Structure 1
Amino acid sequence: MAKRFLRIGVDVGGTNTDGVLLDPSLVDDENRGILAWHKEPTTKNPSHGIDNAIAKMFKEAKISPEDVSSVTIGTTHFINAVVEMDASRLAKVAILRLCGPFSKNAPPCIDWPENLKSLICGYYAMLKGGLEVDGSLISDIDEEEIREQCKIIKAKGIKSIVINGIFSPTDTEYKQEERAAEIIKAAFPEADIIMSKEVANLGFLERENAAILNAAILPFARRTIKSFEEPLHRLGLGCPLFITQNDGTVLLAKTAARLPIRTFSSGPTNSMRGAAFLVEKDLKESVMVVDIGGTTTDVGLLLASGFPRQAAANSEVCGVRMNFSYPDVRSIGLGGGSVVRKTNDSAMTIGPDSVGYQIQSKALVFGGDISTTTDYTVAADEDTVIGNPANVRGTIPADHIVEFKQLVKTMLEKVIDTMKTSPEDIPVLLVGGGAVIAPDELQGASKVLKPKWSGVANAIGAAIARVSAVIDTVESTELKTLEELFEEISLRVIEKAVQGGAARESVQIVEMESLPLQYIDNKTRIIVRAAGDFDMGRVSNEVADSTPVDDSEIKSEETDATPAKDIPKSETVVDEKPFDILSYKPTIKDREWIVSEVDLNWISTGCYILGTGGGGSPYSSMLRLRSIIRAGGIVRVINPNDLKDDDLVGCGGGVGSPTVGVEKLQGDEMLEAQTELYGFINKKATAVIALEIGGGNGLQGMTLGASSQMNIPAVDGDFMGRAYPTKWQITPVVLEENRTIFSPSVMCDGNGNVLIMTKATSDTASERVFRAALSQLGSSVACAEGPVSGADTKKWVVEHTISLSWRIGRAVAMARQFNRVDTVAESIIEEVGGDRAAKVLFKGKIVGVNRTLKMGHVYGEVTIEGIESFQGKLKIPFKNENIAAIRINPDGTETYIATVPDLICVIDAQDGEAIGTPEYRYGLQVQVIGIVASEKWTSTSRGIEIGGPKAFGINSVEYVPLGEFKKPVSVIDEFEC
């Protein structure tokens, strides 16, 4: 008989272990190739559940272990440890940054929820090290400094250590993280060391966050994966063991034991892929997949293509932001083993804690003493027979059952509602072993579906998973063309996928992207991803060492840890009242706006949207400003009309590449530039204004003003009303033809280099000098501009743009809270002055992006294919920022529907946040808004000349305004009373 290449998929949940035995050659048959399936209670040692599930499937299907080509296991164990904040499964972590003087204002775990931060983040230190984007050194590492830190960490009893170096993913020459790891290993042999470059790619904070979570679960993951391997050996399976990761593909077990973070959200991903497999013949529209396990309910949108909707760029787990791109999934603490608490005089609560794998000893229906959702479900439904129903029927009060059913319904409806981008009803597909607790009808669901084998959809998804690999690197294009580099990297990534278990002939390149880096000679970020099928003919023992792990080893480690009950639980609670956006009012005192964290979040969102694709993400700047607020600093904003004529208004901001900005976070260079400038001119500013409101620079005026060294208010306005690629494209230059505005000027790189330009013949000349120096100073610097008078500021300012950012951010927050993201563009338009001042230009999906580098600026073009009433395609050329919106007509001709200086803003259709030009990628659903520019730009021919289409090389097109500009309403004026 010919050898069969069967696949086994196993999903180890907190409550049940599900198994499926699948024959890929029979997937078109009525039973979809499913030869056997089994659901087994998860045990404290998960190997027992895996062993039992596989053994029973072998017996049912009458097959031999030699017929099995692979075993793939998906597990929620690792993410559950974080969701439940279980101290017995989470280790304290020490973080060593190789960063030199940078990133000090955004320390590790700065953006974490406090309860999780206190549980995991044990210690950090900022050390010498780090690279510039071109591969040169910020500084080399100091071996003695690292050894001293090892002594401190060891004395604190911390054994998990993360090393994170600036631009470490591209460090192939100095190998700072690797060298630091060797030093630590020699000084502290028992430590678990995680290099950030192993875990994720470019994006300093997000990569570090992922590495910290990875380190926190590393000891638990190692024990767990070893226990997964035990039953394979006992059953005589010589095939490779794979673990599913969060993008729906797999890792070899030995890799997963090192990088368990990559398995996060693999459970819901498996369920969604398995659900797609089960209904793919009938799938004609998007459906919401609700996977109810033993501990959590995971909800995601399954597109009509059969693939999950992807998170836009970054993703979050328990409030921790990471730079993994994986399916957009929301989790709540509701499952079959969730603990139900109810007393007669208090409201009922469900979860987020769960009895998990102990349900068969702890739940009431099994003779235990803890009330779970399973108990209440059995008590409520006579057709549901689990355990001994007599233990709960008649013993749980009827009014408690009614309250339970309503609470479960509310919890599910709420999480489904938050995942919808439209108020329209949508089909809901229930899967998972805990689906029995869900009602047959849900508000917001056009229908509730539960297909055959839905209870083991997660195991099916694991069985059909593919193998993938990705390379994300910065390469030089000085000696090789981009095509040659793509070819070389493609060969490398294919080899990487084959090493991961893919059949060489099946591997295909599924993603190729290049992002030229601004202001850096011959440097391009290249991302190549490959995917392929399992190599069914390659039976390998490439699995981790299988030293048996018994229950006593796990038990002893759990006993030594802080009990989980002493740790605050997850912030995900169903009865938490949402923030009341409608009643919120900002604080105004004596004509000064005192910015709160709520205000800051909204302003940050609005700034990036006003960046028109450029300006860089404000996220790290927002974190720094939030830290100032939390430390007691006061962020003051004043109306420009309240300036005195003799006030001195300072100005400053960052200049450089957004790609550098997300990796080399600011140190003290912004403030240093201001200090150097005022020391030179022997004057101090009495207020500060942002050069541009768009992107990260939109927050710099407030950050500088709120610093203890300056302590001055920020002006509610800026000199662009948007973002532009050069600093001479500002309203003062428009309105003052024969005058150099900002002189003197100072540039600081944050690493000890300061450049002062005492005079300039023009702002254009100053720009050329600073741009020439920029590439030599790391392509990301801080600038301080000579202060101007209050009288001039009032004449030049684009008024109330901080207020405008606040209003735009509030509109986005409201759209998300009230599930109107599908019309978020229309909501933003209302805030910027209505349909005479702004327009929805297009809605659709990005289907093409190309980029090139000219004179330090990234030029490119994104193509969007229309959806709904927006038919055809829209093309947006950009030079750092979006330049124009061009409709491609059915006959192939092109029509310009908007150009600079009007603002062309691209936002994510899933959450309403801005998408910058470096983030454009195939498949993103977007909405495009056009906003009429300030009259400071459009009322004179000089304004059109400096900021219009001809300034960007579009000489054949005349500027035609989208509508009529409407000056933003000042928050101070509106809320003063």
Structure 2
Amino acid sequence: MTDSSLRRTLRIGVDVDPGIIAWHKAATTPNPSDGISQAITTMFASSNISPGQVASVTIGTTHFVNAIVERDESRLGKVAVIRLSGPFSKHAPPCVDWPADLREIVLGYYALVKGGLEVDGELISDINEEEIKTQCQEIRKRGITRVVVNGIFSPIDTVERQEERAAEIIRREIPGCDVVCSKEVANLGFLERENAALLNASILSFARRTIKSFQNPVKQLGIKCPVFITQNDGTVLSGEMASRFPIRTFSSGPTNSMRGAAFLVQGEGKINCDDPGEAMMVVDIGGTTTDVGLLLPNGFPRQQAAYSDFSGVRMNFSCPDVKSIGLGGGSIVRKGDKLSIGPDSVGYRLTTESLVFGGNALTTTDCAVASNPDLGIGTPDLVKGALTRDEATDYQNLVKQKLEKIIDTMKTSPADLPVVLVGGGAIIAPDQLRGASKVLKPEWSQVANAIGAAIARISAVVDTIRSTDTKTAQQLLAEVSEEAKAKTIAAGATAESVKVVEVEELPLQYVANKTRFVVRAAGDFDFSQTDPIAEPADSSTTWEQQETGRDHAPETRENATFQRKASRQGGREENQVDISTYKPDVRNRVWYVNETDVTWISAGCYILGTGGGGSPYPHMIHLRQLLRAGATVRVVNPADVEDDAAVGCGGGAGSPTVSIEKLQGDEMMEAQNELYKICENKATHMIALEIGGGNGLQGLTLGASSNMDLPCVDGDWMGRAYPTKWQTTPVVFNERQPIWSPICIADGNGNVVVMPKASSDRQVERIMRAALSQMGSQVAAAEPPVTGAEMKRWVVENTISQAWRIGRAVARARQENRMESVTESIIDECVGSASGKVLFKGKIVGVQRTLRMGHVYGECIIEGTDVVELDGVSPVKEQGQQFRGRIKIPFKNENIAAIKIHDGQEEGALENQEDVLAIVPDLICVIDAQNGEAIGTPEYRYGLLVMVIALAASDKWTGSKRGIELGGPKAFGFEHLEYEPLGTFIKPVSIIDEFDVSD
């Protein structure tokens, strides 16, 4: 029988990762071709398989991510960036937030040129071919052959095709150049998409050589089939696509394990790996770590939140949500007054250093063999008597407790669900676990990763913004779903197998009739349409030539994982400062703000934003750049401002979705300059409009010596974030009307609106919002100054100090590795439990959003669970303070209330007063349980682990009937609820008062 007459029905999966290759378990050689060839040849010999029966070879690898982690200059190349951004993004240059060593290796040159789109598809400006040619000359001079093109709102650019047109020009001007269009790499989020494109471009040559080293042994063995590489979301790329987009493979390992585990147990309880019908937990126990992920009913792993972090670089990439603890088959067990396990491990040295193999280290594998000599591992007699009966019981209980805890943390419901144990270390796990409906230990679980690679599918994502002017959201969703299916088919899937597996619908606030749709489709690969082995170009350098001189020490997959996690902390300020002893620079009643202060203030601002205000991250980057350029930023106490001073104000208005793409240019200063052309009373000080969100940093930025050179008042006009300009404390006091006139707004692209007069502050809001929709849905606003005396009556005092303290609490919790108590630390920083409270801890299990009158209304449902550290015993459990049941958080851009949901109560039903845990004007803040950062309402998504706190509102709101009317529940449509104070408001302690060093 000839190969051509055989039916191609078999798939080969290979896990190319230091330590194990397929089920053959051969150590990885410097040239992966040798290991792949050996593994496949062994499988053929042992199973009597003919090459003609093989339909595909699919490989999972960490080679590409390791190149980034290791800062390997032999694998990374210099990249130039051309931004199509017009006048925007100038204050946040490429790689601005990268670890310095990686930025030095990767970034070779950058330029900002004309181009970019508004959120509605209108041009910011068209690209200029001559301008791009000029930049190509500069790139050629530097010998750079990799270029990233990044345009504002390029992922929704289907008409102008600016990135594609710019790429054509670059390829003509720099023959042989690799050009990466950012829209092909990632989705909305200008800096994060650019970061991903940069990393992708830097490893292209290495990727092509690596892919060829994967393809060569397949070809040499006479296997005429395509070679695929697994990517982050549990699907595959062709070898040609992987050589173009190697970054998509960075987190494929955990995904492969989850998909492989589902395949191994299919049929048990009617589990199907492509459509399980219910969620299942996959626990992958290796030599050093246990990695746990949740496989959703759609057959794909639960994904991380909006942003992920690779080696200190922030990206908006689709990555599996995987939690890890230091427990594996090689974990060291220590006896004493209290038995302990890990987190240190003998790792790949298990077969030489553990007792059962004749070594001297007591490991979890030794303990497992001592309990069950029939496991067939090592020499069981060597571990006889290694543990007493009590010690064996303590060991078993501790392993069980660690696994139960991480499983409980990853669950999205208190209901039991199937738990699948895989990995070489699965032998240490018990057969029963609390929270598991069943515990499955399938045969061949040690090769779940390779099996997951073999069965991976094809997928595609469409992330776009569409107008609801002429079509309903349902009609548009159907259109986008068809686009996602078509994109999946174009990527190589069979049409009949493609289904939509994920849908997200996000109305945009302050943007007229616009909704963001994110749709993922997936299907089976169409093997009949595939070129057997399409080789990538640029394969002149062999693997051996590339690797010469490199010393690759043996390394397990788990040790590599630990290395990657450690590197992700790179560049974080809290790792560079001794927080316990740090003191801000306060001299003669003036606080001189530095980079550490800005980082903490930014984190605090987002938490005080109560879900709104937009992320301060790009504004923090801008302010940090000003400081690095030598600017001075000053803060003064409100009480120290003279009565006849003129306190100016400025801030941004618009959609947070726009702000993640159209990064700030000079519109803030432009608005101020235009205002003072008609406003005679020049500002002597600046103040933030709202401390919550990105606007919390604008007073500092405008007041910087390189801008207006004015001190910023330690306070603001809200004490939080509110959705409208009339929800400010000067309007509450109502001493004159209107407060916010004259006003000036600028869009940064040459359009300025000045309103010299207005009949009321509500009318100012209406007119400004109308103009906003025609100015790109994002503007800078400059408000007229008030007197120092007025400011002292109206201001919410010391809120910059409060943001700083909150940010410090988060940084300290991270540094001390105690995220379980970060919420309590935040409340302590806000002067204790009298003015704050931890309301709830749990997982988001439902989010609904609708758009009304330009504002996004919605409801977030959170189910109580334990969200503390994954290792060790939960202090919350010890104190018996577990959160159970559900709460809902209605929001209008910002969070409005936290309300209990009773069993059987319909979500969305009318609330009862006694069920209200907290309500506006008190602050309801949702915090990411994993890192302590705020989660904005646009970022709410199913499965996120969160903590909810409430802080008492300033007495500037609660001290009058008018304040509660403007900022309380009735202002948000909750007519049936009354405001009841959370606690006693205590004015935040001034940084200036505490740390002043006077002459």
Smaller-chain TM-score bracket: 0.7 to 0.9
Q: Given the alignment of the two structures, is residue 691 of structure 1 paired with residue 689 of structure 2, yes or no?
A: yes
Partner of residue 947 from structure 1, selected from 959, 967, 971: 967
Partner of 2:637: 639
* Amino acid in the other structure paired with 2:169: I
Equivalenced residue count is 880
Partner of residue 791 from structure 1, selected from 767, 789, 792: 789
Gaps of 5+ in 2: 270-277, 330-343, 360-398, 411-418, 431-439, 554-562, 867-881
Inter-CA distance 615–78: structure 2 relative to 1 (3 Å threshold): same
Partner of 1:801: 799
Q: CA deviation at 1:374?
A: 6.2
Q: Given the alignment of the two structures, is residue 936 of structure 1 paired with residue 956 of structure 2, yes or no?
A: yes
Q: Distance in 1 between matches of 2:216 and 2:569?
A: 42
What is the TM-score normalised by the length of structure 2?
0.81
Deviates further, 628-637 or 146-155: 628-637
Gaps of 5+ in 1: 20-36, 337-350, 352-371, 386-412, 442-448
The question of whether the paired residues in 2 share the 8 Å contact of 1:300 and 1:308 is answered with no
The question of whether the paired residues in 1 share the 8 Å contact of 2:106 and 2:202 is answered with yes
**3-state SS of the aligned residue for 1:598?**
helix
Q: Distance in 1 between matches of 2:567 and 2:122?
A: 48
Partner of 1:916: 936
Q: Distance in 2 between matches of 1:526 and 1:570?
A: 32
Per-residue CA deviations over 1:301-342 (Å, capped at 9, x if unaligned) read 435979866432211111110001313469999999xxxxxx
**3-state SS of the aligned residue for 1:87?**
coil
Per-residue CA deviations over 1:336-392 (Å, capped at 9, x if unaligned) read 9xxxxxxxxxxxxxx9xxxxxxxxxxxxxxxxxxxx98689847879279xxxxxxx
Q: Distance in 1 between matches of 2:322 and 2:863?
A: 25
Q: Distance in 2 between matches of 1:610 and 1:548?
A: 52
Per-residue CA deviations over 1:13-41 (Å, capped at 9, x if unaligned) read 2x45612xxxxxxxxxxxxxxxxx21334
**3-state SS of the aligned residue for 1:209?**
helix
Partner of 2:452: 461
Partner of residue 183 from structure 1, selected from 166, 169, 175: 169
Q: CA deviation at 1:558?
A: 6.9
Q: Given the alignment of the two structures, is residue 49 of structure 1 paired with residue 35 of structure 2, yes or no?
A: yes
The question of whether the paired residues in 2 share the 8 Å contact of 1:311 and 1:327 is answered with yes
Partner of 1:6: 10
Per-residue CA deviations over 1:102-126 (Å, capped at 9, x if unaligned) read 0000011101111100101000000
Partner of residue 879 from structure 1, selected from 892, 917, 925: 892
Q: Distance in 2 between matches of 1:686 and 1:865?
A: 49
Alignment of structure 1 residues 492-531 onto 2, 5 Å: 492-531=483-522
Deviates further, 861-870 or 272-281: 272-281
Q: CA deviation at 1:272?
A: 5.4
The question of whether the paired residues in 2 share the 8 Å contact of 1:268 and 1:299 is answered with no
Q: Distance in 2 between matches of 1:315 and 1:327?
A: 10
Q: Distance in 1 between matches of 2:421 and 2:898?
A: 42
Q: Distance in 2 between matches of 1:454 and 1:508?
A: 28
Q: CA deviation at 1:268?
A: 4.0
Q: Distance in 2 between matches of 1:524 and 1:641?
A: 45
Q: CA deviation at 1:785?
A: 0.8
Q: CA deviation at 1:176?
A: 0.4
Q: Distance in 2 between matches of 1:831 and 1:317?
A: 31
Inter-CA distance 279–835: structure 2 relative to 1 (3 Å threshold): farther
**3-state SS of the aligned residue for 2:458?**
strand
Report percent identity of matched pairs. 61
The question of whether the paired residues in 2 share the 8 Å contact of 1:745 and 1:783 is answered with yes
Q: Given the alignment of the two structures, is residue 470 of structure 1 paired with residue 461 of structure 2, yes or no?
A: yes
Q: Distance in 2 between matches of 1:813 and 1:723?
A: 22
Deviates further, 795-804 or 756-765: 756-765
Per-residue CA deviations over 1:132-187 (Å, capped at 9, x if unaligned) read 11101100000011111111111110000000000000011111001101111112
The question of whether the paired residues in 2 share the 8 Å contact of 1:716 and 1:800 is answered with yes
Q: Distance in 1 between matches of 2:212 and 2:623?
A: 45
Q: Distance in 2 between matches of 1:203 and 1:377?
A: 47
Partner of 1:163: 149
**3-state SS of the aligned residue for 2:203?**
helix
Partner of 2:309: 316
Q: Distance in 2 between matches of 1:64 and 1:544?
A: 18
**3-state SS of the aligned residue for 2:133?**
helix
Per-residue CA deviations over 1:813-844 (Å, capped at 9, x if unaligned) read 23333333233333322222333322233332
The question of whether the paired residues in 2 share the 8 Å contact of 1:226 and 1:549 is answered with no
Q: CA deviation at 1:454?
A: 6.2
* Amino acid in the other structure paired with 1:12: V
The question of whether the paired residues in 2 share the 8 Å contact of 1:332 and 1:572 is answered with no
* Amino acid in the other structure paired with 2:458: V
Deviates further, 698-707 or 96-105: 698-707
**3-state SS of the aligned residue for 2:26?**
strand
Inter-CA distance 707–455: structure 2 relative to 1 (3 Å threshold): farther
Alignment of structure 1 residues 622-701 onto 2, 5 Å: 622-701=620-699
**3-state SS of the aligned residue for 1:583?**
coil
Per-residue CA deviations over 1:949-971 (Å, capped at 9, x if unaligned) read 11122222222222222211112
Deviates further, 499-508 or 460-469: 499-508
Deviates further, 178-187 or 227-236: 227-236
* Amino acid in the other structure paired with 1:873: R
Q: Given the alignment of the two structures, is residue 777 of structure 1 paired with residue 737 of structure 2, yes or no?
A: no
The question of whether the paired residues in 2 share the 8 Å contact of 1:422 and 1:820 is answered with no
* Amino acid in the other structure paired with 1:495: A
Q: Tell me how large the CA RMSD over aligned residues is.
A: 4.0
Partner of 1:541: 530
Q: CA deviation at 1:645?
A: 0.9
Partner of 1:817: 815
The question of whether the paired residues in 1 share the 8 Å contact of 2:149 and 2:163 is answered with yes
Partner of 1:389: none
Alignment of structure 1 residues 378-389 onto 2, 5 Å: 378=352, 383=357
Q: Distance in 2 between matches of 1:816 and 1:760?
A: 48
Partner of 1:406: none
The question of whether the paired residues in 2 share the 8 Å contact of 1:70 and 1:242 is answered with yes
Q: Distance in 2 between matches of 1:704 and 1:384?
A: 68
Partner of 1:32: none
Q: CA deviation at 1:458?
A: 2.9
Q: Distance in 2 between matches of 1:575 and 1:850?
A: 34
**3-state SS of the aligned residue for 1:588?**
strand
* Amino acid in the other structure paired with 2:861: T
Alignment of structure 1 residues 242-321 onto 2, 5 Å: 242-271=228-257, 273-274=259-260, 289=284, 300-303=291-294, 310-321=303-314
Partner of 2:994: 974
Q: CA deviation at 1:595?
A: 2.1
Q: Distance in 1 between matches of 2:301 and 2:484?
A: 24
* Amino acid in the other structure paired with 2:13: G
Partner of residue 865 from structure 2, selected from 858, 864, 867: 867
Partner of 2:581: 583
Inter-CA distance 636–439: structure 2 relative to 1 (3 Å threshold): farther
Partner of 1:132: 118
Q: Distance in 2 between matches of 1:482 and 1:109?
A: 37
**3-state SS of the aligned residue for 1:38?**
coil
Partner of 1:396: none
**3-state SS of the aligned residue for 1:788?**
strand
Q: Distance in 1 between matches of 2:284 and 2:994?
A: 44
* Amino acid in the other structure paired with 1:546: E
Q: Distance in 2 between matches of 1:578 and 1:702?
A: 23
Inter-CA distance 552–192: structure 2 relative to 1 (3 Å threshold): closer
Inter-CA distance 102–549: structure 2 relative to 1 (3 Å threshold): closer
Partner of 1:391: none
The question of whether the paired residues in 2 share the 8 Å contact of 1:300 and 1:328 is answered with no
Partner of 2:436: none
Q: Distance in 2 between matches of 1:238 and 1:324?
A: 33
Partner of 1:369: none
Q: Distance in 2 between matches of 1:53 and 1:772?
A: 65
Q: CA deviation at 1:531?
A: 3.1
Q: Given the alignment of the two structures, is residue 232 of structure 1 paired with residue 218 of structure 2, yes or no?
A: yes
Inter-CA distance 429–834: structure 2 relative to 1 (3 Å threshold): farther
Q: Given the alignment of the two structures, is residue 721 of structure 1 paired with residue 712 of structure 2, yes or no?
A: no
Q: Distance in 1 between matches of 2:625 and 2:757?
A: 36
Partner of 1:398: none
Per-residue CA deviations over 1:389-436 (Å, capped at 9, x if unaligned) read xxxxxxxxxxxxxxxxxxxxxxxx9xx99x989999xxx999878x89
